Amino acid sequence: MTALATARRIAAQLRADPRTVGIVLLMPLVLLTLLYFVFVDVPVPQGARPVFDSVGPALLSVLPMTLMFIVTSVTMLRERSSGTLERLLTTPLSRWNLIASYAAVFGLLSIVQATLLGLTILGPMGVTVEGPTWLLLGVALLSGLTGMSFGL
């Protein structure tokens, strides 16, 4: 069994679990939208930035890391408790290939999550960023990848 075949199995297993995909892709959007509506009506003094312009980018760096950590650690625990992990370790697949397979699948999921969150904050929510927007999206992506690596 190769690392690519293992990655395909993990991706198929992830596609078959809509709750996990919902937690990773929809839950941060819902949380972000709720907090947007909490802060949108806060009075802003003359010449000051809206409150969500400060809170939004901070959430964009925290949400991907937290959710990817939770999802990857629960997935690894589920694999271990169901016995799939032990069965995989009896194959010629090395431990590094196994971790790389999980990292590849959840890394792609992290890229999708960071892109959705970034486009939502910069698009419909209209958050203005003082620095370059690609740097904000890069921080969100690195945050998601960090959470994924902590969970593995």
In a domain, 47, yes or no: no
In a domain, 134, yes or no: yes
Burial of 123 (0-12, 13-18, 19+ CB in 10 A): exposed
40 pLDDT higher than 90: no
The residue written with tokens 């995909």 in the block is 21
Domain extent, residue 82, equals 3-36+52-151
| Domains held by the chain: number | 1
- Name the H helices within the chain: 3-15, 18-25, 27-39, 52-82, 84-89, 95-122, 133-151
Q: Within a 10 A sphere around the Cβ of 119, how many other Cβ atoms?
A: 12
In a domain, 20, yes or no: yes
In a domain, 44, yes or no: no
Q: How confident is the model at residue 49 (pLDDT cuts 50, 70, 90)?
A: confident
Q: How far apart are CA 129 and CA 127, in angstroms?
A: 6
Crossing angle of the two packed helices 52-82 and 95-122, in degrees rounded to 10: 150
- pTM here is 0.85
Instruction: Summarize pLDDT for 116-133 with one digit per residue, the tens.
Output: 999 999 999 888 888 898
In a domain, 126, yes or no: yes
In a domain, 123, yes or no: yes
89 pLDDT higher than 90: no
In a domain, 94, yes or no: yes
Which positions ≥6 away from 89 have C-beta within 8 Å?
95, 98
* 24, 106 contact by CB (below 8 A): no
In a domain, 46, yes or no: no
Backbone angles phi, psi at 97, to 5 degrees: -65, -35
